[in-house]
Amino acid sequence: MRLKLDENLGQRGAAELRGVGHDVGTIAEQGLAGASDVGVIEVCRTERRCLVTLDLDFANPLKFRPRDFAGIAVLRLPPKLSHRHLVAFIQTLPVQLSQATIDRHLWIVEIGRVRIYQDEDSDMEDMDRSAP
């Protein structure tokens, strides 16, 4: 899977995802830190990469229509974030990607579940997913 990690996710996340075989590019590596949300998503569209981000603005399907992109995964972290939580999310993502397609979808990834926005019928589907 071709992924693009937003600047709010570090090199450890990229290394974890590369370690399980994903083609991972990052906003930081591309020199796009500080780019607008529109700039970031356009780079993802051009490269046909799924955006993985902590930025909740990308969870708005009216602003960023999932059907226009190779996927958007927004990680919803708990209020008291620990490094362990971030690693758990990054390790969970490949499992979800192996079980369902993110192309043209918006995933809201939380601990223990993934909510999938299905643009075609404008509905959100809850999928309970146990963390690995």
* Structure tokens, 108: 């809201």
Give, for 44, the enclosing helix (H) or strand (E): helix 37-47
| pTM for this model (two decimals) | 0.85
How many domains is the chain built from?
1
**C-alpha to C-alpha distance for 114 and 111, rounded to whole angstroms:** 8
Instruction: Kindly calculate the radius of gyration of the chain based on its CA atoms and give it in whole angstroms.
Output: 13
CATH of the domain at 39: 3.40.50
Element (H, E) at 89: helix 83-99
pLDDT band at 51 (very low <50, low <70, confident <90, very high): very high
Which one, of 115, 109, 28, 120, lies nearest residue 68 by Cα?
120
Q: Could you list the residue range(s) of the whole structural domain that residue 78 is in?
A: 2-128
Say what the pLDDT of residue 130 is. Answer: 44
The band of 131, judged by pLDDT with boundaries at 50, 70 and 90, is: very low
Share of the chain above pLDDT 70, in %: 89
